[in-house]
Amino acid sequence: ANPNATPARIIPKSTATGYPEKYELYQNYPNPFNPSTMIEFDLPVASTVTLKVYNLLGQEVATLLNNQLVEEGAQAVEFNAANYPSGVYFYRINVESVDEDGVASTFTQIMKMMLMK
């Protein structure tokens, strides 16, 4: 992980339909990208989110969110890869939450993206 990386900014996205009904991680855009891209995800309830980026060898290269409490709704985080070499990267989201009935749930998903300089 890059210790000099600036913390990611979470950008709430307004939705016409209210809050999402399920957890979802979307394909980043633009993709391929240079040098930055947006990673969007949906949270049906406020959740603790970890979002990390890995290189093709599976080595962690960036932590965009680290056990950060994120409000429910459609969210977006920018990944700036100006200091990274071209190639294939993976981003992995891990979400932990407890709903109003006290039921804990976990959501994890991995997606691929391409940095082309």
CATH no. for 10-115: 2.60.40.2550
* Per-residue model confidence (pLDDT) at position 105: 92
Please report the sign of the dihedral spanned by the C-alpha atoms of residue 18, residue 21, residue 22, residue 26. negative
Task: Select from 99, 94, 103, 28 the least CA-distant residue to 67.
Answer: 94
Q: Is the pLDDT of residue 18 over 80?
A: no
Residue 54 C-alpha from the chain's centroid = 12
pLDDT at 101: 87
Closest CA to 95 of 42, 46, 48: 48
pLDDT score, position 57: 96
Question: What are the b/e assignments for 78-102, b being 16+ CB within 10 Å?
Answer: ebebeebeeeebebebbbebeeeee
Give per-residue pLDDT as tens, 100-113: 888 899 999 999 99
- Residues 8-25 have a mean pLDDT of 72
